[in-house]
Amino acid sequence: MAEKKKFQAIKGTRDLLPPETELWNRVEQTARKVFGTFGYGEIRPPIFEPTELFARSIGVDTDVVSKEMYSFPDPFDLGDIYAQYQLRESTTPGAGQLATIAGLLPDSQLIAARPEATASVCRAYIEHGMHALPQPVKLYYMGPMFRRERPQKGRYRQFYQIGAEVLEMVPPNQDPAKNIGKDAAVDAEVIEMVMAFFARLGLEGVKLEINSIGDRDCRPKYVELLRAELLKVKDKLGPDSQRRIETNPLRVLDSKLESEQGIIARLPKIADHLCANCAAQYTEVKRQLNMRGVAYAENWRLVRGLDYYMRTTFEITALGLGSQNAVCGGGRYDGLVELLGGPPTKGIGFAIGEDRLILSLQEAGKGGAAQGRDVFVAWMGEKTQATAIAAAQKLRAAGLRVELPPVEQKFGKALGQADKLGARYALILGDDEVATGQWTVKTLADGSQTKMSEAEFLEMLRKGL
């Protein structure tokens, strides 16, 4: 006999179950509705992509790409490699040799489970020539993302994001200074849309923080200045920050280490080092947010983890999430499409952590009660089954949630089950009801019982919907 094995979900992944999935569905439906009112269409990119796409866009020095990405050789390509090895060496590679070969494969021969979707959306924009569509192209997506992080509350290895991107090809010879006002309005509207979505869901304790991290002109100069200042205080920093002085000094500003806070507070601030265009755009974003009634706080330390951001960055936190309280992150990424081989294109977008959004709604008591049934059809007597089936069909066609037991049950058992399922009404059908056409309807909340015709019952339920 085969050994009995108990399978479990892989670490950092989980099953989403009813009734919680009802909340997930409500969140997703609301996103579709709200984003639709802003003129966005849905894109569903694949879940795996070439590893190179992420390496190039997110940046090879980021944690997401260097440590957290599920990147692997396509097993079928590995088959080819295996065969080539056999041919060349006249011997079969062992598991160790195969692992070594796989480990040495360049990114160009690997595929990855997507750690985020902005790169995919940009790839799709290029692949489908969307620059030829009326600009800007406004897209939203939702689905699972994969990062090999240390799992904890609000942090998973398979997690879900709801995101949106606005992409706009830059016409040739456009003066970059000329469109600052327009870009700022686009940024502000994207932020306004996320806030409208959160408001519609009743998310509590929502706080929006914004910043500008400059562009290709002014950011490198600021980063150098920051690096020089950090080197002066290197001894006082922890090992992570010390490493980041070399790899990515901006990320030091992200540090949550208590001992580093005083030092960071005295570092030069990017707002004082923005070039004229970036400064003008940042001022205009703030004016636009005010005009739209969107409240925000400025946070000069908000740098975001991914390399491709420029100018406007923002992050939103919500109630009840502990240390993992960021529920949405976003920013502008002009130049990313070009980096991926497309035409010069502006971009701005955000990604909401859906798992965290759900957690926050649940913490605030907005999870919603378990959905029961509207009607439990308690039928007794073999001849009654056909009537019970017909009744269930009509009720379901009217959009009601109906439980129809597959076999007849004793009266007491049927009512007990109706109660357990949280049904509002039990429709009691026996020989009498079938003969007279007068149904017995029991309201489970108060135990009252009345007789009525099928039409009357349907009418009563419709009114209560």
320 binds ligand AMP (CB under 6 A): no
| Number of residues counted as binding ligand AMP (CB under 6 A) | 17
Q: Which two tokens stand for residue 193?
A: 């849309």
To ligand AMP, the closest distance from the beta carbon of 42 in angstroms equals: 19
Under 8 Å CB-to-CB from 146, ≥6 apart: which residues? Answer: 69, 70, 113, 114, 115, 157, 158
Q: Which is nearer to ligand AMP, 26 or 148 (CB)?
A: 148
User: With left for phi above 0 and alpha for psi between -120 and 50, is residue 400 left, alpha or beta?
Assistant: beta
Q: Which is nearer to ligand AMP, 314 or 379 (CB)?
A: 314
Residue 368: which of 194, 131, 201 has the closest Cα?
A: 201
Q: What is the three-class DSSP state of 400?
A: coil
Q: What secondary structure does DSSP assign to 294-337, as a single string?
A: ---EE-TT---SSTT-EEEEEEEE-TT-TT--EEEEEEE-TTHH
Residue 22: which of 399, 362, 464 has the closest Cα?
A: 362
Question: Segment contacting ligand AMP (CB under 6 A): 73-81, 147-155, 173-181, 381-389?
Answer: 147-155
Among 58, 137, 226, 327, binds ligand AMP (CB under 6 A): 327
Among 35, 159, 197, 308, binds ligand AMP (CB under 6 A): 159
- Contacts to ligand AMP from residues 103-132, by CB under 6 A: 116
To ligand AMP, the closest distance from the beta carbon of 174 in angstroms equals: 29
Torsion of CA 46, 47, 50, 52, to 10 degrees: 120
Question: Segment contacting ligand AMP (CB under 6 A): 76-84, 325-333, 382-390, 429-437?
Answer: 325-333
Among 263, 328, 391, 441, binds ligand AMP (CB under 6 A): 328
Q: Helices H, strands E: what count in the chain?
A: 17, 16
Q: Measured at CB, which residue is nearest to ligand AMP? A: 353
Q: Which two tokens stand for residue 152?
A: 């904890």
To ligand AMP, the closest distance from the beta carbon of 208 in angstroms equals: 13
Among 185, 280, 326, 452, binds ligand AMP (CB under 6 A): 326
β-bridge partners, 315: 209, 329
Among 305, 320, 372, 430, binds ligand AMP (CB under 6 A): 305
- b/e map 57-77, b = 16+ CB within 10 Å: bbbeebbbbeebbbbbbeeee
To ligand AMP, the closest distance from the beta carbon of 351 in angstroms equals: 4
To ligand AMP, the closest distance from the beta carbon of 313 in angstroms equals: 10
Dist. CA 153–CA 155, nearest whole Å: 6
Question: Segment contacting ligand AMP (CB under 6 A): 153-161, 339-347, 365-373, 455-463?
Answer: 153-161
Among 56, 114, 346, 356, binds ligand AMP (CB under 6 A): 356
Dist. CA 141–CA 31, nearest whole Å: 10
Count CB atoms within 10 A of the CB of residue 210. 24
- Contacts to ligand AMP from residues 170-209, by CB under 6 A: none
To ligand AMP, the closest distance from the beta carbon of 81 in angstroms equals: 31
Residue 457: which of 445, 443, 436 has the closest Cα?
A: 443
376 binds ligand AMP (CB under 6 A): no
To ligand AMP, the closest distance from the beta carbon of 272 in angstroms equals: 26
355 binds ligand AMP (CB under 6 A): yes
Burial of 244 (0-12, 13-18, 19+ CB in 10 A): buried
Among 14, 26, 32, 155, binds ligand AMP (CB under 6 A): 155
To ligand AMP, the closest distance from the beta carbon of 67 in angstroms equals: 12
To ligand AMP, the closest distance from the beta carbon of 215 in angstroms equals: 19
Under 8 Å CB-to-CB from 136, ≥6 apart: which residues? Answer: 166, 167, 168, 186, 346
Question: Segment contacting ligand AMP (CB under 6 A): 40-48, 83-91, 148-156, 447-455?
Answer: 148-156
To ligand AMP, the closest distance from the beta carbon of 119 in angstroms equals: 11
Instruction: Kindly state the greatest CA–CA separation across the chain.
Output: 93
- Contacts to ligand AMP from residues 333-352, by CB under 6 A: 351
Give the footprint of ligand AMP on this chain (CB under 6 A): 116, 147, 149, 154-156, 159, 161, 305, 326-329, 351, 353, 355-356
